[in-house]
Every structure is written in C-alpha cells, then in structure tokens.
Structure 1
Amino acid sequence: MTCWNVLGLTPDADTRTIKRQYAALLKKTRPDDDPEGFQRLRDAYETALDWSQTPPAPESEDEASTPERDATLAQRYASAMADGTALSLEIHVLQRCVDGDLTAEDSRWAFETFNWLTAWQRLELPGMLVDTLERQQRARLQQPLQQALDQQDENAFLAVYAARHEHFWMNNHPHAEWFNAWLARLLSHHAYWSGAVFEAVCAGQGWHGGADHNCPPGDWATLLRRQQGPVFLARQRALAAEPPDSPQQRAARLLLAPMSLGQRRAFAQRFDEYDWKACQALSADIYADHVRVAEAMPGGTVYFWQGWDSAMDTWPWIVALVISCLVGVLVKAERLAGAIVPTLGQGVLWSIGAVVCAGVAWQAWRPFAHQYRVQDERLSQRLPRWISPTHLPLLPLRDLVPGLVVAVALGYVFGPFASLTLVAVLALIGWIKRPLTNHHSPWTARHPGWAIVGTALCVVAGVTLYAGLNMLDKQHLVTRNQGLQQWTERLCSRMPRNAAQCQAPATQAQWYGQEARR
C-alpha cells in the first residue's frame, strides 16, 4: 500500500493538500488508540511530502519527440531501480500517462515494463489512478468501433477491429472477457447490421455454433437471428404476397404488403384474436432486428396498428340500424300529428332490439365466415369495385350476406324504405370515412378543438330537435281548456248558479270559450 492509498490522494496533490488531508485523518487515528495506524499515517505523510517537494523532473518537449526518448525513460527507470525509487518513478509515469503527457511509444514502453492493467502490476499503485487508466484505455478501444457502426461504415469497423491487438493490455484477463461481452452487446443491440462485420468478429473472437464458443449465450441467439434477418424478411414478404390463409400470412400482409394506411386499416378490421397475436409477434421481431424496415412503416413505427385491435369497427352498423328503425316507424305510423316524439321513442326501442339481435347473430356468423376467408377473398375480386365504399373490396360471405339479411329483416318489419335507408347510411358513412383513414392518427387527435366543438354542436342539435318536435306535438294535443268538458267547468265553476251566462242550454261561446272566437 502506497502513501497515496493511505492518505486517499493522488500523486499530483500539492503540499497544502497533503497537510490538510493529514490533519483530517489525524483526528480519526489517535496515537493512544491505534499506535500502528498512527505510525503508518505518519510515514505516508512524510513520504508524500518528500514526493511533492522533489518530484522526478519531466523530460523536455524536445526530448519527447526524439528517438532517444524510450532509452532515456528506460535509463531513468534503471537508475531508480538502483537507488530504490522505482515505485515513485512508476507512479509519476502513471500519472503522466493518465494526464495524456506520454507519447504512444512511451505509453507502450510503460505498459510493457510495468505490466499495467495485468495481474502482474504493482499492488502499491494508487487505486484511483489505476481505475482512471483502465477507463481511459477501454474508452479508446470502444469509441472508434462505436463510431464506425453509428456511421454505418463497415470498412472502418473492420480496420479498427483488426488493429485491436495494438491494445496489448486487452489480451489479459479480465479485459479480454470484458471486451468479448461488450462487443457481443454492441452488435446485438445496435441499429446497424452488417453480415461481413459479424463474420469477421466471429472469426476473431472464436464465436461459432459449438458448445464451447466464447459468445455470451443470451447475445448469441440474438446475433444469429439478426444474421438470418435478410432470409427472414424475404420469407415474410413472400407470405405477404400469398392469399391470407393463415394468421401469419395476414400479419405479414398487414405489415409488409405495399398498401396505403387506409387499406391497412380496412384490412385489419377483418382480424380475429389469432391474427392480432401473429401481428404482435411479427412486429416484435421486426422492431428488434430490422430497424430500417420499421422506420419505413406508417408513422415511422412497426406498431402503427396499436389501437386497431381494440377499436369498435361495428359502429357504422349501429348508427345505420338506429336511423333505419327511426325512419321505418315514422313511415309506417298511421298518424304523426301530435305523436312524433312517441313514435320516435318506439323507433329507439326497435333499434335497441335490432342492434342486440344483429350483434348476437354477428358473433355466431363471424367465425364461420373467417374459416372461408380465402374463398371469400377470391369471390370479392369478381365484384364490381364501385359497390365498396371502403379501401378494400367487400367480402361476400363476411359483409354482403349479413348486410342482405339485415336489410331484408328491416324491409319485412318496416317496409322497403327502411332497407333503402340502411344501405344509404352505410354508403354515406363509408364515403366519409374513406379519406379520414389515410392518416396515421385519428381525426379527433389531429383536431382536438374541432372534435369538442362538433360534439357540443351534436348535443345542442339533439336537444333542440327534441324540444322542437315536442312543441310540434303539443300543438295537436287537447289541453285542459279544450275538448268536450262540461260548460260549467269551463265558464261557471266560480260563478253563482243563477248567473245568466251559466244557464242551460250552453251556447257555442260558453262551450268552447275563447277558442270559439278564433
């Protein structure tokens, strides 16, 4: 243990700092309580003072650039070995190496002579200096390799990696193990990937498929997967071009097929839970190993579809059913004068029943239609494109058959006008939604202010419409001053029975009151 370790200082500490540190430590180490510790502290203090007052004279700048520089440093070390000051000289050279005052030749000589960062270096060296030297040397090895990958320069990385043996300390334990683990993490987690870099590193580090290879097991699986990435992507693109017969094929088509965002959204509306699981697994693989492919997707992320799996895609049917039922009861009603609001109330009740029945039937029909997805896709190619209001052709089994059944049921209950209303509302909603689905974020997220204003206007319009219809109904209803009530209740309830105007028979003015003069 050196005087610097005892004092907790570095060799570049001045006399004032040494004295101040000694005074502070002296309060904790009393001669009466710990005579040996006090003597050790006193010796360290005196040695540090001698070192600070008579440091080894550094070589001049001119000598640092001459070929005789190594010989001079070696001669000084030989003299120090003879007079017993070799440790002091080594600490001085170590300090200069940490400060960056040594040339590359001097540093090489010092590492080879003093065995720094190896198991044979002096134990008396200051621990702080050794730790600083280790961090500096590791950073000098890491930075060029990291920078080459950041710049996606394959040749620069290979050149720096081939010159790694110039850092001769790195071949010693435990630095070789550290470098091996760090290199595996760098290649497995960096966004850039090069097959040539991976093969060169495998050859240099002894990574192979055997049981005794040097690559950490956790990173080796990732590296192999990234090396096989081009084959994986080619396979997934081939799946995307095939008919969507399996969840894996449908997931590949959603993520990798050349479709617009609106087409992807329309295609995702036909997914079931197994399709979304396959999509999640494929997205995770692309996100981990194929950053460029993920950045080229909508929104710059492979998870652009998040939210679609839980989105309610049946709301157009609900809106169309409600409007069709309301229109149907209005058209079918025998008398609307004074009964518009009650009639609409009946339509709401009918619409609730229709939505519930259609939802139950859809839950039973959807798995059946999903089994014949491929045949349904082929049949849809034969349909005219103009009948589809969305970005993708309608599927006969999945879309047209349920729609036809609902339209026939509405026509049977309310008449053909309700069926036409259903078709018209669905087509109108599809026509409105079509341009909105081409954006990655919803319209409400892109225009939050207008979304709030639109919601408020819809509420105000609904309340206003209800109030207006209610007032219209009241104009056709009989009030307490109307109808065939007894004339005495209308005009004579608070008058004497012998009043002339209250005697029977009642006149028209007495019977109808003020309404008779209108």
Structure 2
Amino acid sequence: MAADFDCWEVLDLPARSDERSIKRQYAKLLKVRRPDEDPGAFQQLREAYEQALHSLREGWDEVDRDPADVPARPAAENRTHPSLTPTLSLYEQAVGLLDGFEDLAVDRYWTEASARGCGAEFERLLFQRCVNDPEAHWHLLTWGIEQRQWLTPWQRIPASEFEQHCLARALTAALYRTLDQQLATGEEQHFFDCLEHHSQQAWLGDFARRQALQVHVLTLLVNTEDWSPSLFQRVCRLFAWDVEAAVVPIAQEQWQALHRRCEQQTWLGELRSLMQQRQQPPSAHANAATLFLLATQPAQQAELAAGFVEADWQACEELAATFATRFPDLLGMFPNRDPGFWKAFIGHKDPPHGVKRAACVLTLSLALNNLPGSGPLLTLLMLPLYALGGLLAAQVGKWLLSHWTSLTDNLQDLDQRASAWCVQHKLTADRGYRVIRNGGPLLALAVVIWHWLGALGLATYLLNGAIGLLQPASAVPADRQYRWRKPLQAIYRIAGLSRLQWVFCVTMVIVIGYVQLHMPGTLLTQGRLR
C-alpha cells in the first residue's frame, strides 16, 4: 500500500484515478522531468506511472484485502498474471532512440524515428543536444542545417530565440575561422568554394546573418595583403557587388581602397606576365617591366640595364609615369619611392673613335689654315707633321675632357633631362649620348675650327652635323672592326659618315682650299680671334 500511495504522490494524483487521468498527468510531468536534465527524477516518474497502471488494472479490492483473509485459490487462480507493459509515449520512444546514439549514424536513427512516428520529438531532442554543445556535435548540427533546415523559416520544430542564436553563433564562428585560415595561407580556391557553399545555405538567408558574413569577408580582404584580383571579382559577383547600384556594407573609403588594390594587383600581374615573356620575343615593354619588378635586386637590374637601348629607356619612362599617376600606392616598392630610379642605370656613351675623329678634323683644319703660306705642294709634304699636331691636340682635348666630365657629373639630372628632350624631338637617337657631357667637347672643337677656318669651316662643321641628325640611321655605316691593311675601309668606318656627308665634306674642303689660295685673309676663312 505504501508503495502504491507513493506512486500516486509522485504522479500528484488522488488514489483510484482512472487510466486517462494517469496518462494525461504523466505526459504533463514529462515536459518538466526530462531524461537529459534529471535522469533520476525521470526514472522515478516512469516507475510510478507503471506502478499506477498496474495497481489500477489489478483492482483496488485485491490490493486492500488482508492476505490472511484471502482463501486459498486453486493453482490456476494463483498463477501470476503477466505484467502488462504500459504503452510508451512518442517522447519516450524518442528518448529511447538516444540510447547508443551516434552522430555519424543520424540518418539511420532518423529513419527509425520517422517509422515510429516520433520524428518531431526525436528532432527536438537532437536540436537540444546541439544547443547544449555544438562543438561536440558538429556533424549533427551540419545534418540539421542541410537536411532539416534548422535556423530557417521552414524549421519544423519550435525553438527559442536564444537557442537559435547559440547555434547561429557557433556556425558563424566556425565559418569565419575557416575563411580566415584559408585566405591567410593563400588557398584562394578553397576560400571561394567555402564561401560560395555556405552563402547558398538557407540559414544565411537571414538578412542580419548574411550582412554580418559580408562585413567579415570585406574586413578580411582589407586586412589581408596578398589576394588576387580574380578572387575579388568572383566575391563581388557572388554578393552582387559588381552592379552599379550595389549596396556594400563597408565604408566608401575602404571600398574604394579595395578597388584600387584590385587594380594595382591586376597591373602587377600584367607586368609579371610581360616579365615571363621577355625572352620570347624580346620587347622594350617586357624589358622595362622586368627592370621595375627587380627593384629589390640592384645587381640583376644593372646587368639587365647594361643591354638596354633607347626603346627600352622610353618604355621605362612610360612605365614610371604610369606608376606615378595611376598607382602611387605602389611607389614603396622602389628605392626612396622614386619611380625614376631607373635613370641611375643609364650609362653615358661616348661617340666611337672620338679621339681619332677629332685628330682627323684638327689635322685637316690645320693643313687648310696654313695653306696660303706654304702652298699646295708643301702642305702635302708637311701633312705628316700636321697629322702629328692634330693627334697631339686631340690628346690634349682628351685630357681636358676628363675635367669636363667631372664637372658635368654634378649636372647629371639636368643632362639626363636635356638628353631625353633631344631624343623625344628626334635630335638624337639615344639618351645615353649626354647632350651636356658630349656637347662640351664638340663645342670646343667648333671654336677651334672657327678660329682656324672662319665661317666656312664652322659652317662645314655645323652643316655636316645637321645632316647626320636629319638623315636616317641606315645611311650611316655600322660601327664595325677595321684593319689598317685596308686604309680606305678603315677611314670610312672610323669617320662614320654617310655618302652625302662625304660629298658635302669633300666639296667644302675644296671650296675652303680655293678661298685660302685665291682670297687669303678673307673673313670667310678666318675667325675674329686672329
């Protein structure tokens, strides 16, 4: 009796309650005594429920009668009645399925729960298990997100806002960690695949969650230096940021900075492609791109620049202007943030055979200058002496040139700008021939010629130089090796004059010689300094 009354006390029911009241009260108490929260109370409730049903079906008359007053029954009557197994509720069946449950086998358990008709109760228990410890039941949580549409308007089980927030926070934290790690290690394809896969999941259809994901991705791109333009473009297409009216959840300054970085990376990618194609076929732009990308390797830069021609330097000038105007943020990759660093690699070029050419001009000028006093025959006889005098004068000029070179080193920037201007206006063919550095000796030679041969000599010198500037480069003989065993060939290659220049020079020498012989002392062949 005491045990029976104890079961009524546990069920909080009066004695002799009917079966319907017992079941209704039991279902009510199950909601507050869950096996996952208090297994002991749940077991006591279940035993009380079974005992109450058993007592009810045995009948109170049998229970209240004193055992001494009960007459002996036949063996058949004393046979123990089989215990009646109470009908388990759907919730109890769902709880029973959790015995030995494994997350990896959730599909099999779910099929069994659906067959028993307790799918909703079983799903609610699984949901609660994920809420209690999402990290320990990650596979189960993933199953619920993908198969049962948890955290979406189509979720079939009730859940509080707090429970949904707990699961959403765990999911977003794991997603953010994965994205951060993949982008930090340069796994761009895995990064985008992960982002694309999760962005298509229904739980991220919520506006607040989706916007939080977009903000995290944008912040990650802002704080990460190395990512390719193609990744940024694919992310923009994924979130529809590539349309003109797109609303981006980030400050406009940061959004513009991301676009600039994308353009910069695209530009650098083009330069790297040019660098890889430099050998096939060689091009000035490829050479310039290689020189700029080797900014941290000055030794290789110097080796590369040693073979540059004017077309390469012009490509460098264009590239430097592009960096300075379009991509000023990339100037940090150059020494002193100067895109004109390449100018330091432009070596100066002296005209070939400078001393020999000067000696020939001085010898000829000296002979023509003395022609009136000595006559043609004596001049020819003394030509070796004049040649010796011209050679000595050229050597003196070479010694003076060394001091002039030291002086022009202080004017290097001005000299480079002047040389570049002359190249742009087709006055010279190569900025390596410095205007100031090489122009000084030419001007000194012009003064000597004017002093010895006057206006005709100076005009011959200047007009011959003008012809050289205006004529095509193909008209001038190539600078090749020569042998004095072929004197005419040697003179032709050393002089470096075109046929037109030869005709002009020979004609003017004859004219000057005629004037010197027949009109000596005229201002046409005498400078004012005499």
Question: Shorter chain as normaliser: what TM range?
Answer: 0.3 to 0.5
Q: Tell which has more relative contact order, 1 or 2 (C-alpha 8 A, sep 6+).
A: 1
Query: TM-score scaled to structure 2, two decimals?
Result: 0.36
Q: Which has the larger radius of gyration?
A: 2
